[in-house]
Amino acid sequence: MSQSGLPLIGVVACNQQIGLHPFNIVGEKYLLSVVNGAKGFPLVIPSLGVDLPIDAILARLDGILFTGSPSNVEPHHYQGPISEDGTHHDPKRDATTLPLIKAAIDAGIPVFGICRGFQEMNVVFGGSLYQKLHDVGKYIEHSEDKKAPLDVQYGISHQVNLVAGGLLHDAWGCDTAEVNSVHTQGVERLGEGLQPEAFAPDGLVEAFSVKDAKNFALGVQWHPEWKVTENAFYTAIFEAFGQACRHHAATQVR
């Protein structure tokens, strides 16, 4: 917990080459969703691809947000086929997030995975991914029109059906919700120990939680960080995450 009383929430960075130098970067929308949605203070966790002092990191944080990204998890982590040429990967992020997710959940730190973060969680629990949903033949179009304005790309795309008794259903209080859809990959095989929280109309798993987690451990395939305060469903998700982070902070002696 920060001196201001706000929970400290780690936000995982991605790697990007800008000019001649590599940078660790986080989309501002994720930082603002922590501030405005979870009512916490964001701290960027760099993805350096080296051994992290995981225990020291977890001892100082009240929650971790695993963000979306332009990159995909390298398929060798889930025994998938080699990606097509030109696919954007971030091996340093893989080396950072995959062990960090498991350690955080085991330690009872609230965890929230969005898009790539959702896919990382599935991989950590032994699941696999479709690399191109539109090539599978049984799913609706889940990717965005990259030429459209951002408000269109991140606008509402389809409904999801929430699983009764699940974390999301309890947070929202309804059987369905409307979400955006900005992804080309998706769950092929659900990881062991994960339970579905929401399904797209085509049957694709769009959210899951960790069955035996000690605390909040949720992954969603859509992007609730987008203008979080303008969408009541997205707000409810981040409020539940923030509440879990505050509860965890209150139990710690630092």
Catalytic residue among 74, 206, 225, 248: 225
**pLDDT single digits (tens) 185-236:** 999 999 999 999 999 999 999 999 999 999 999 999 999 999 999 999 999 9
Spatial CA neighbour of 15 closest among 55, 56, 53, 70: 70
The residue ranges of every structural domain in the chain are 8-250
Mean pLDDT over 1-23 rounds to 90
Active site residue 245: no
Asked whether the predicted pLDDT for residue 1 surpasses 70, the reply is: no
29 CB-near residues (< 8 Å, 6+ apart): 225, 226
Active-site residue, 223 included: yes
pLDDT bracket for residue 254 (50, 70, 90): confident
Going by C-alpha positions, the residue among 152, 153, 135, 132 that lies closest to residue 144 is 153
Do 216 and 167 contact (CB within 8 A), yes or no? yes
Question: Looking at the predicted structure, is the pLDDT value of residue 3 above 70?
Answer: no
Catalytic member of 115, 169, 197, 248: 115
Which of the residues 197, 223, 245, 248 is marked catalytic?
Answer: 223
Q: Identify whether 14 is a catalytic site residue.
A: no
Report the alpha-carbon distance of residue 86 to residue 17 in Å, rounded: 15
Domain 8-250 has CATH 3.40.50.880: yes
Q: Per-residue pLDDT averaged across 84-97, rounded?
A: 94
The Cβ-side half-sphere exposure at 127, using a 13 Å CA radius, reads: 28
